[in-house]
Structure 1
Amino acid sequence: MVEEIRRRLSEALLPVELEIFDEGHKHAGHANAGKGHYHVRIVSAAFAGQLPIERHRMVYVALDGLMDNGIHALSIDAIQDK
């Protein structure tokens, strides 16, 4: 799943930095524990002029279909490239 997330975000947003962390281990004992919990840190010029909520929407659009099929939870740090 990490590689699919990386591929989609790289193609859609051309990041200068991209880190993806599988955080499923942090959710032991919770519903859906160990399944599809990820953190993304992405830096891209595509975020220029966008409010944080719009940056997150751009990430979700790039990951269309995965949010219902493989990703249970996603936290995002979307940063505008300087």
Structure 2
Amino acid sequence: MSTQSTIEEKLQALEPTFLTVENESHRHNVPANAETHFKVTLVSSRFEGLMPVKRHQQIYALLADELAGPVHALALHPYTPQEWQARGESRPNSPDCRGGDGS
């Protein structure tokens, strides 16, 4: 199973109404086909009443093995359903990485 698939599977514990796990490794200076840099956008009612740091902690706890091993960077964008709707249900863009694609 790929690292991305493992992350997607483990995050199901948060009962997401929307989930994307994007492998952004190609945007960084890593070997081809690496699975080291990910962006997670997750919408869950389980985030109701929680400050962003508590939301992140829930995700970190679920992905502890991946963060201790193959995953070098994890960009997290956790929202409640109301916050997600207020955003127009759009995922945030990631900033460009210096040297990521050789440019």
Deviation for aligned residue 1:24 = 0.5
Higher-Rg structure is 2
Q: RMSD of the alignment, in Å?
A: 1.0
Q: Which residue of 1 aligns with 2:53?
A: 53
Partners of 1:8 and 1:61 lie apart in 2 by 10
Percentage identity across paired residues of the two chains: 30
The answer on 1:43 being equivalent to 2:46 is no
Across the two proteins, how many residue pairs are aligned to each other?
77
Q: Which residue of 2 aligns with 1:13?
A: 14
Q: Which residue of 2 aligns with 1:27?
A: 28
More strand by share: 1
Q: Which residue of 1 aligns with 2:94?
A: none
What is the CA deviation profile of residues 25-71 of structure 1, one whole-angstrom value per residue up to 9, with x for unaligned ones? 1112xxxx254100000000110100011111111011121101111
Deviation for aligned residue 1:7 = 0.3
TM-score (norm 1): 0.88
Partners of 2:55 and 2:69 lie apart in 1 by 22
TM-score (norm 2): 0.71
The one-letter code matched in structure 1 to 2:62 is: A
- Residue ranges of structure 1 left out of the alignment (5+ in a row): none
Deviation for aligned residue 1:81 = 1.9
